[in-house]
Structure 1
């Protein structure tokens, strides 16, 4: 038998859970309103040697989502029930459940041990392969679809010890296999007030959703060991600039991920405004639309500069990135304020 669940290349990537969310819900037009009501707010985690930028919704994107029916099943339960992991995965897919779990992706590729989360969205008995998606299948770290054999996946899954499994569902679960299927009949009305609140929080640098979340973004967990601080919205620019200044001095290790998230955030904002204008008939001015597009292109240039630094390690590039980020931050404030004003008219 063979079955592959709907999974298209996502509008934005940045993180495995974000990419997976868009790769799945991008197939359902009735989910568009939910996607564009959310993901307007960002937050930045500071660690000793790096920073990590995320969207809100965060790890709860599969669990606290009206379009998914999800469950986090512990490895211990699956082991005690004496269930073969491949049989389990195939049965889940037959029942239209996606599988999101941590495995030894390095071992799966014949390389050094490297634990990471991936998505499983299909299987083929003829070739004895699973369809998978993640960022770690090539040195480019681009989000990719691939396949792996049943045996390689089994070994990669079994290689992860219980104490190493820090899979989170964002609502209190810690460790295991997250399975979820799409509630494709759900109807969601675009939530303009939610977007307005998120944009206000973005401009004010305040947390979005702290009153309803079941976890604290400011508190270190097994998934965020060594967390030192968290900032929100427009304030993430200063944290990213501080971080890249420290990278330039050699005191921190370089990660390009913050620039990827900034770029994806602007891509999503441009697409969101197009949706509001064309699908919801909300009067967003042409000037706001064009200025967000210009902002997106400027952030793309910064992201590409980050790629160049990643290759040649020229610290002058980092200096340019920091300088440009400062100007982009001010532009972001101005155009987001105008967008917010027009939404509230």
Structure 2
């Protein structure tokens, strides 16, 4: 067979590449695990980004994915320096491939021959007639699938810096059956942590974090957005605003599911508030998109005002959810 693809669907959540990948291969039972999690948001100082809790170990810890990784020396011992052979054998055995590449060598990226940029990439299939791998990533500030020549992938992978094993090791992921029950205690606990900015206690603390609404206040007070003398004045990070929208999208789905399945008493007012919040954060994200094409001071002021209003509405909404969960 010259072309083979593993299961892949349009993801509902895709702010970052791992999210796009997870939600592209998710099956129905795994949504209950999603609803138990994906509530707390943290800001990572070294990464300079907002993300869901446990962002960097999300795929490794997902109970619906078999996750294996090999250091580069074992990869070479098995497949030599042929990434193509590795991909074909992995896909044939039902494994997705997750690796880092230098985008300088990938013609479908804006870094092609224009600057070295290491970034993760997922491979879900191949086409031998075209000599292409089927890949997925946030290539154009949104998660898309594309065809990439094996030759470019070879260049991109073998030129990745070997300073850290994290960049050179290759991960192999496979979907597996998993049954999970809804945990109302966990959901309530996570909502409280998000609302009151309580930290998640990690086994290893690799950098400084801020959590919940305290972290989100950075979008209103960070000097990067407020200092008019800076060349970076009000350069809004679209990822943060898209994450906030997807956070509300998941909350809307979570709340509807909990009420449909009898985990919470039905409350149309609360559902309407949730849908309204989702739409408000979508409008806010779209306003940031508009600002990036037209850096207008009125737009910037409107973004800050809408964000402040959204955060206040969301805090009241979460308090109402927690009260309803006690009923």
Q: TM > 0.5 between the two?
A: yes
Question: Secondary structure at the residue paired with 2:60?
Answer: coil
Q: TM-score, normalised by structure 2?
A: 0.90
Q: Choose 70-79 or 243-252, whichever is displaced more.
A: 243-252
Give me the whole-angstrom Cα distance separating, in 2, the residues matched to 1:343 and 1:248.
44
Give me the whole-angstrom Cα distance separating, in 1, the residues matched to 2:212 and 2:62.
22
Alignment of 1:236-315 (within 5 A): 236-243=215-222, 245-246=225-226, 249-250=229-230, 252=232, 253-280=235-262, 282-315=264-297
Establish whether residue 128 from structure 1 lines up as the match of residue 131 from structure 2: yes
Q: Is the 8 A contact 2:225 2:236 kept in 1?
A: no
- Residues 279 and 86 of structure 1: is their aligned pair in 2 closer, same or farther, counting only changes over 3 Å? farther
Establish whether residue 214 from structure 1 lines up as the match of residue 198 from structure 2: no
- Residues 265 and 257 of structure 1: is their aligned pair in 2 closer, same or farther, counting only changes over 3 Å? same
Give me the whole-angstrom Cα distance separating, in 2, the residues matched to 1:315 and 1:164.
42
Give me the whole-angstrom Cα distance separating, in 2, the residues matched to 1:300 and 1:321.
12
Gaps of 5+ in 1: 168-174, 221-228
Match for residue 143 of structure 2?
143
Give me the whole-angstrom Cα distance separating, in 2, the residues matched to 1:100 and 1:205.
32
Q: Is the 8 A contact 1:100 1:179 kept in 2?
A: yes
Q: Choose 233-242 or 250-259, whichever is displaced more.
A: 250-259
Question: Secondary structure at the residue paired with 2:217?
Answer: helix
Q: Choose 16-25 or 274-283, whichever is displaced more.
A: 274-283
Match for residue 159 of structure 1?
159
Superposition deviation, residue 92 in structure 1: 1.2
Match for residue 7 of structure 2?
6
Question: Secondary structure at the residue paired with 1:330?
Answer: helix
Question: Runs in 1 of length 4+ with deviation above 4 angstroms?
Answer: none
Give me the whole-angstrom Cα distance separating, in 1, the residues matched to 2:316 and 2:61.
32
Q: Deviations over 1:281-305 (max 9, x none)?
A: 5324111111111111111111111
Give me the whole-angstrom Cα distance separating, in 1, the residues matched to 2:185 and 2:6.
33
Superposition deviation, residue 312 in structure 1: 1.8
- Residues 83 and 106 of structure 1: is their aligned pair in 2 closer, same or farther, counting only changes over 3 Å? closer
Q: TM-score, normalised by structure 1?
A: 0.86
Q: Deviations over 1:1-52 (max 9, x none)?
A: 2321111111111111111111111xx11111111111011111245xx941
Match for residue 20 of structure 1?
21
Give me the whole-angstrom Cα distance separating, in 2, the residues matched to 1:317 and 1:197.
36
Question: Secondary structure at the residue paired with 1:157?
Answer: helix
Establish whether residue 343 from structure 1 lines up as the match of residue 322 from structure 2: no
Q: Deviations over 1:99-136 (max 9, x none)?
A: 11110223211432322111111112222211111112
Q: Is the 8 A contact 1:273 1:284 kept in 2?
A: no
Match for residue 225 of structure 1?
none
Gaps of 5+ in 2: none
Give me the whole-angstrom Cα distance separating, in 2, the residues matched to 1:284 and 1:119.
40
Q: Is the 8 A contact 1:45 1:51 kept in 2?
A: yes
Q: Is the 8 A contact 1:41 1:202 kept in 2?
A: yes
Give me the whole-angstrom Cα distance separating, in 1, the residues matched to 2:69 and 2:164.
16
Match for residue 178 of structure 1?
171
Superposition deviation, residue 64 in structure 1: 1.1
